[in-house]
Structure 1
Amino acid sequence: MTDLLYSDVEESLRDSVRGALQRAVDHGTVAALYDAPDTDVSSVWSVLAGDLGLAGLLVPEELGGVGAGPREAAVVLEELGRNVAPAPFLESAVIATTALVSAGDREMLPRLAEGARAVLVLPWSARAGAWSAGSGTVAPVAGAIGADLFVVPTLVDGTVRLVLHESASVEPLTSLDMSRRLAAVTVDGGGRVLAEGDAAVAAVDAALAAGAALLASEQVGLAQWCLTTTVEYAKTRVQFARPIGSFQAIKHRLADLYLEVAQAQAAARYAADTLATADADAPVAQAVAQSYCSDVAVHAAEEALQLHGGIGMTWEHPVHLYLKRAKSDQLALGTPATHRTDLAGLVDLPAH
C-alpha cells in the first residue's frame, strides 16, 4: 500500500525550508514587487540554492546533486506555496532539471546543482502531450527573468529538437502574480542539441508532467496557509460581542474548506508518490491533482479574503498575494477543465 505520510527526512526538510524562508522573505517584500518589479529578491534563491542546496534536489548525486525525488521536491513546494515565495524552484529545479535529466545531459546538470537557473522555454499554459515546438518569440514563459540556461524545444524539418542556449532575449511582461513573473523569450539560432525526435518529445513531456504533479503541492501549501490564517482570525475577530468563529455559518464554511484542503493534500501526495515510483497510474494521479488542487487553492484564497472582512480587502494584508498566486497557478500548466478532459480519456469516460 502506498504510504502518503511524510517521512522523518521529509519533515526535517520542511523545517529547514520553512526556517530559511522566514529569514529570507516576508509578505512585505513580495507585495513590493507589484509597485517595484525590480525589487531585489535574489536572496531567496540564494538561500534555497546556496544554503540548502535545493537547486540540485533532483540532480543525480554523481553529477553533484542531492539525488532526491519528487516527494522531497513536493515538500519544498508546499513551503514555497505557504510563503508565496518569489523563487523559481518549480521552473528550474523541477521542470527544466527534469527535462535535462530525461535528455541524458551530463554537462549542465552540475551547474544547476551549484545554483545556476534554467528554464524550459514553452508557454506557461503548456502541459504534457499538448505542447507544440516552434521558433521565434515564446510567451508567456515563467522563470525566464534571471535564468542562466534556456532549454528550447524547436521544430526543424518536422523533427523536434531540444536545444540548450546560454543566452536569450528576455522581455518582462505584466503578470497577475508578480511573485512568479512572466516574460517573452526570443533565442537566436545555434545552441547545443540535447536530444531530438522521440527522445526530445519524451524529455519535454516528462518535464511538464513533473511540473503539473508537483505544482499541486504548491497549491496545497497555499491553501493550508489560507485555512490556518482564517481560522486564527475567526477566533479573535469579535462581532456582536462574540468571536465570529462561534457563528454557525462561519463554522460550516471553514469545516467545508478543511475537508477540501485535506483531500487536496492527499491528491497532491499521491501524484508526487506515483511520479517518484514511476507508477503506471501517474498520468491519472497528475490529472486528478491538477484538476482538484487548482480549484481548492483558489477557493481557499477566496474564503480567506471574504472571511477576513474589511482588513482582507486592504493592500497591507497578505491575503491578496495568495489569491493572485492561486489564480495564476490555476491557469498554469493546464487549467482544471483541460486536466479533467485529459482525465476522461485516461479512465475511458466521455469528455464534455
Structure 2
Amino acid sequence: MNHRHPEIDPQFLSETDEQRQLRAILRGFYAETSEPEDVRRHLATPRGHDEALWARLAGEIGVHGLAIPEEYGGAGFGFAELAVALEESGRALYCAPLLPTVVLAAHALLYSGDRDACERYLPRIADGTLTATVAGFDADAPVVEAERDGSGWTLRGRADFVLDGAGADLILVRSRTPDGLRIFACEPASDTCRRTPRRVLDETRRQALVEFRGAPATAVGAEDHAEETVTATLDVGRAALAAEQIGGSGHALDATVEFVAQRHQFGRPVGSFQAIKHRMADWLVAMEAARSASAYATACVAVASPQLPAAASAAAVVCSETFRRAAAEYVQLHGGIGFTWEHPAHLYVRRARSGEVLFGTEDQNRARLAELVGLAPQPTACGTASEVTSI
C-alpha cells in the first residue's frame, strides 16, 4: 500500500522572526502575570482564571484571534503562531480555557463550514468576550440526543469531563438526530442545562459534567459533515496539546538545569556529577525528539496536510511521554524541595498526567497510528493477533 503524501516544506518546521518576537512577548507577559503563586490565586476565582488577564491576552497581544481568519474578526495568521502561544502558556501553566475555546471550539466552527455560526461566534472568541468548548466529541462518550422543538432543536442527555464545561458561554455538542449525527451550538442556561464541576487531578484545567435538559440549540454545519469535523477538531487538539506539553517540558528542564548548577554537595555543584549529567543529556535528547514531533504536527495543521491524523497521534504519544518524564525528573532532581506543595513541580506533574488521557491514551493513539500507516493487527485463523498474543 502506498502511503506517500506531499512532503511538508521544511520552512514550516522553522520558527519565523515574527514567531520569535511573539514568543519573547508572551514569555515576558507570563513572567509578570503567571508565576506559581499567581496560578494558585487564579484557581481560587469563580471561573478558575483571571478574567482581566484573559482580556489582556486577547486584546493587547491578540492571542485568541491568531488562527481565526480576518473575515471573522481574527488576526489571520495561522496555527503555527497559535502553537507558539500554546507552548508559552504550557510553560507558564496558564490556567485559562485557551485549549477548549481558541483551539477546539474555534476550529470546530471553522471546520464545520457554517458561515452563519462562524460570523456569530468567532469574532467574540477572537476578542476574548466569549469562552467556548466542545462536548461529546470523544467516540466513547454517550451521545446527546437532539430533538425537534417546533422550528428549532433541543438537547437531552449528558456529557462528562467537558473541558471548562462549568464556565463556557458556548458549548458545541456532538448529538444524535433521527437522521444521524450532527453538531449543535448551545448557549447554556441554568434552567435547561445543569453543570457540575468535577474534582480532577489537574485543577488548572477545569472539567465538568454537563446535563442537557431540553436545552435550546442551533444546528452547526451539514449533517453529513459532522464526523469529519469532529475528527479534524480532535487532531488539531492533539497538535495543540503537544505544543503545550513541549512548553511544560521546557520549563521543567530549564528550572532543573538552573537548580543543579546552584545546589552543592561535597563542595561541588550537583550538576557536575556524571550521573546527573547523563540524566540531563538523555532528557534533552527526548525533548528535541518531542519538539520535532510537535513541530511536524503543527505544520500539518497549518497547511491542512492529509498527514495530520498520523502526525497528531504521533505527537500525542511522544510529547505525552516526554512531559511525563520531564515532570518526574523535575521533582526528583530538585531533591526534598521538589516534593513539597510550596514548590510548583507538583502542578506540572498534575498537568502532565492529566494530559496523557485528554485526547486518547498513549495506547489508543499508538493503535490509531498503526492503523493509519497500515500496521494494524491482522485477523488470524485463531482470532486476532492481539488475542493470540494474550493467550
Report what 1:110 is aligned to.
123
Q: Are 2:144 and 1:134 aligned?
A: yes
Amino acid at match of 1:255: A
Q: List runs of 5+ in structure 2 lacking aligned partners.
A: 1-8, 146-156, 378-385, 387-391
Q: Are 2:184 and 1:163 aligned?
A: yes
Q: Secondary structure at the match of 2:167?
A: coil
How far off is 1:316 after superposition? 1.0
- Mapped partners of 1:72, 1:33: distance in 2: 26
Deviation per residue, 1:169-222 (Å, 9 max, x gap): 321111111111111112333211112422122222221111011110100010
- Mapped partners of 1:221, 1:232: distance in 2: 17
Which of the two has higher C-alpha Rg?
2
Question: Taking every aligned residue pair, what percent have the same amino acid on both sides?
Answer: 38
Q: Are 2:79 and 1:70 aligned?
A: yes
Report what 1:93 is aligned to.
102
- Mapped partners of 1:237, 1:59: distance in 2: 46
Amino acid at match of 2:136: L
Please report the TM-score for the alignment, with normalisation by the length of structure 1.
Answer: 0.93
RMSD in angstroms over aligned alpha carbons? 1.8
Contact 2:49 2:95 in 1 (8 A): no
Contact 1:82 1:224 in 2 (8 A): yes
Report what 1:255 is aligned to.
281
Deviation per residue, 1:240-292 (Å, 9 max, x gap): 21111111111100000000001100100000001111112111111110011
Q: Secondary structure at the match of 2:356?
A: helix
Contact 1:102 1:206 in 2 (8 A): yes
Please report the TM-score for the alignment, with normalisation by the length of structure 2.
Answer: 0.84
How far off is 1:52 after superposition? 1.8
Q: How is 1:47-58 mapped onto 2 (pairs within 5 angstroms)? A: 47-58=56-67
Deviation per residue, 1:293-314 (Å, 9 max, x gap): 0010010000110010100011
> 1:219 aligned to 245, 256, 265, which one?
245
How far off is 1:60 after superposition? 1.1
How far off is 1:32 after superposition? 4.5
Contact 1:44 1:87 in 2 (8 A): no
Q: State the number of aligned residues.
A: 347
Q: How is 1:251-330 mapped onto 2 (pairs within 5 angstroms)? A: 251-330=277-356
Q: Against the structure 1 CA distance between its residues 282 and 326, is the aligned structure 2 distance closer, same or farther, given a 3 Å change threshold?
A: same
Q: Secondary structure at the match of 1:331?
A: coil
Higher relative contact order (CA 8 A, sep 6+): 1
- Would you tell me which structure has more strand in proportion to its own residues? 2
Q: Are 2:10 and 1:2 aligned?
A: yes
Report what 1:15 is aligned to.
24
- Please identify runs of 4+ aligned residues in structure 1 that moved more than 4 A: 129-132
How far off is 1:337 after superposition? 1.1
- Mapped partners of 2:351, 2:20: distance in 1: 24
How far off is 1:132 after superposition? 6.2
Q: Are 2:189 and 1:179 aligned?
A: no
